[in-house]
């Protein structure tokens, strides 16, 4: 089976609330992780990445947390907006070197209610 998975397939939040999307991975050798956002009919859009030598990284309204002890990755979106409604994927790279190949989870559908 896939080594990257998601705890919740769907998440519904109110506009203005914070959202947390979770991802579990099973391979302790994974050294690089990416979160993507995919809106209906569009390609995945890069949101934020994190390397395994970090446990937290912040972007604009988004934070990724990495817990290597329990092999868990989360994406936090602050002050969620209707435009954040989309499917969110986590992806992991297994193996070293710059020529990585990503393995993707199936995604979580985030719905933001106005």
Partner 1 sequence: DAEITQSPRHKITETGRQVTLACHQTWNHNNMFWYRQDLGHGLRLIHYSYGVHDTNKGEVSDGYSVSRSNTEDLPLTLESAASSQTSVYFCASRADGGKQFFGPGTRLTVL
Q: Which residues are at the interface with partner 1 (CB under 8 A)?
A: 2, 34, 36, 41-46, 49, 89, 98-99, 101-102, 104-107
- String of b and e for 72-95 (b: at least 16 CB within 10 Å)? ebbbbbeebeeebbbbbbbbbbbe
As measured in angstroms, the least distance from the Cβ of 44 to partner 1 is 5
Distance CA 28, CA 31 (A): 8
Nearer to partner 1, 16 or 59 (CB): 59
Nearer to partner 1, 35 or 112 (CB): 35
Nearer to partner 1, 77 or 105 (CB): 105
As measured in angstroms, the least distance from the Cβ of 58 to partner 1 is 16
Question: If we measure between CA atoms, which residue out of 89, 108, 102, 5 comes closest to residue 44?
Answer: 89
């Amino acid at each position: 089976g896939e080594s990257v998975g998601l705890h919740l397939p769907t998440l519904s939040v109110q506009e203005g609330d914070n959202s947390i999307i979770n991802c579990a991975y099973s391979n302790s050798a994974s050294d690089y992780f990416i979160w993507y956002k995919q809106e209906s009919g569009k390609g995945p859009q890069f949101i934020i990445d994190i390397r395994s030598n970090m446990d937290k990284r912040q972007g604009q309204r988004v934070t990724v947390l990495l817990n290597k002890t329990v092999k868990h990755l989360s994406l936090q979106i602050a002050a969620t907006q209707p435009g954040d409604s989309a499917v969110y994927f986590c992806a992991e790279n297994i193996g070293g070197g710059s020529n990585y190949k990503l393995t993707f989870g199936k995604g979580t559908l985030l719905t933001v209610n106005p």
